[in-house]
Amino acid sequence: MKWLNVLIKYRLWIGIVFLALAIFTNIQTSFWPSFVLYLIAVVAIVGHFLFGPMRLIQSYMEEGDMEGAKKVVNAIWFPAILIKPVRSVYYTIKGNLDMVDQNFDGAEKNMRKSLALGGGALTKQAEGPNKLQLGMLMMQKGDIKQAESFIRQAIRAGLPDNENNAAAYLQLCSIMMNKREFRAAKDYFKKAKGFKPTTPQIVDQIKQIEKYITRMPG
């Protein structure tokens, strides 16, 4: 739906053009002939600030164009006035972009902001992936206790696909191995494999762990 993406991209400027036309028509005639123009202008301008260009950001991320996604994110001037569910998605995407840049402090800050918003279908949908990301961030920082807590919360909240579930259980497997709780590590590894992930990075992790997990006691 390219036309919709074009509309979202230029929605603010379309609104400004219609507002100028409405004012001109109002001056030249009267208010009522310009009413429809005012209405279109208000809907376009208010929609831009309340809903933002989130569809454009998600399209860029699905295509792997991180630079394009960053440009759209940076074009959101006032994230605080986005409606709550959209604001939650905004902070989630911003956190994901920080992860790509290895800005772990920024990623943690934005993921926590997203989680703090709570409620709503969109925010509930993002809760599991956000907590998984936070768990992985804690792993990067060496905070194993926090990492385990967030990953378990992510699994309870629900993860959207096999890849995320496999990643979560592999992280728990690694944590259990570090804690020398080998029986639990084997259980989590079995669950991770059961999701049959296809992401090369996760598949490689499974292969690496599989080399020595069978030699573990328990």
Task: Judge whether 205 lies within some domain.
Answer: yes
Walk along the chain (218 residues) and give the pLDDT tens digit of each residue.
678 888 898 999 999 999 999 999 999 999 999 999 999 999 999 999 999 988 888 778 777 788 988 999 998 999 999 998 889 889 988 988 898 888 989 999 998 998 888 756 556 677 888 899 999 999 988 899 999 999 999 999 999 899 999 999 999 999 999 999 999 999 999 999 999 999 898 999 999 999 888 888 76
Task: Judge whether 138 lies within some domain.
Answer: yes
The residues near 58 (Cβ < 8 Å, ≥ 6 apart) are: 93
Q: Residues 170, 153: one domain?
A: no
- pLDDT at site 54: 84
Q: Residues 165, 213: one domain?
A: yes
Task: Judge whether 82 lies within some domain.
Answer: yes
What's the predicted TM-score (pTM) here?
Answer: 0.78
Cβ–Cβ < 8 Å for 195, 166: yes
Distance CA 181, CA 37 (A): 67
| CATH number of the CATH domain containing 126 | 1.25.40
Distance CA 59, CA 55 (A): 6
Distance CA 23, CA 134 (A): 49
Q: Residues 102, 155: one domain?
A: yes
Final residue in a domain of this structure, among 124, 142, 160 = 160
Final residue in a domain of this structure, among 115, 143, 160 = 160
* Helices vs strands, H then E, count in the chain: 12, 0
Range(s) of the domain holding residue 204? 161-218
Task: Judge whether 204 lies within some domain.
Answer: yes
Task: Judge whether 58 lies within some domain.
Answer: no
